[in-house]
Amino acid sequence: MKDPRKIEEILNKPIYFDIDKALKRGWELFKAEPAILVIYTILVVGLSGGVSFLFEDFSTIFSLLVGPALTAGYYLLGNRISRDDNIEFSDSFEGFKFWFPVVVVSLITGLFTIVGLIFLILPGIYLGVAYSFAMPLVIFGGFEFWTAMELSRKLITKIWWRFFLFLLLLLVINLVGALFLLVGLLITIPASYMMVYAAFEDLSGDLLDEDTSGDSPIFTHESES
């Protein structure tokens, strides 16, 4: 893990976010493994819908305790695809290896965002966007939740309006997907996650060590793979 002082030096450097590059790179990642990503999305949507329909009282618990690990699965698949690894469908569930940290960071970022929305709305919108990389930083950087949240906030704040526009474009993409009898969402949802991962990979720069050991995946930038 990087020295905190080195991280501050990196964050003080100018950052440019190329929206078009993130969209194209994310689409390339999706096209590399469309079958696995679509099937995984069917599973995720099916589980969420099934729990909500059959066990309505437990749907919130499912979203809070299982949803983050399922979301982490998308980022881990994106990382594997970016590294040109051989991928099997079982790899989709590697997010559960990071169950506790991703649940914690998801709960805390969600709580902060909701509180911001309740009180003044704008702070909630700001935090909702700024914490977009908190989970990937937990997964790939091995940071504890607060450090990951602050690194994400400081990084995205430097290009907040561009990143907000990027997320709005992803929202539009998914709305278009929903118009096609919701079937289009099976493509736009995983493609959107790949695009967010591509943006994370591009913007994270030297925040992450490439020699990550243990169970954490090795993080390799596109330009270095």
Express each pLDDT in 74-85 by its tens digit.
999 999 999 999
In a domain, 114, yes or no: yes
In a domain, 176, yes or no: yes
Report yes or no: 122 and 136 within 8 Å, Cβ to Cβ: no
CA distance 187 to 38: 6
pTM score, whole prediction: 0.88
At which residue do the structure tokens 């526009």 appear?
165
Mean pLDDT of the chain: 88
In a domain, 157, yes or no: yes
In a domain, 5, yes or no: no
If one counts the domains in the chain, the total is: 1
Express each pLDDT in 185-202 by its tens digit.
999 999 999 999 999 999
Burial of 86 (0-12, 13-18, 19+ CB in 10 A): exposed
In a domain, 87, yes or no: yes
Other beta carbons within 10 Å of 224: 8
In a domain, 9, yes or no: no
Which range is most confident: 3-17, 170-184, 201-215?
170-184
Express each pLDDT in 130-171 by its tens digit.
999 999 999 998 899 999 999 999 999 999 999 999 999 999
Domain that holds residue 188: 20-224
Helix orientation angle between 160-179 and 122-130, rounded to the nearest 10 degrees:
90
In this prediction, residue 15 carries a pLDDT of 86
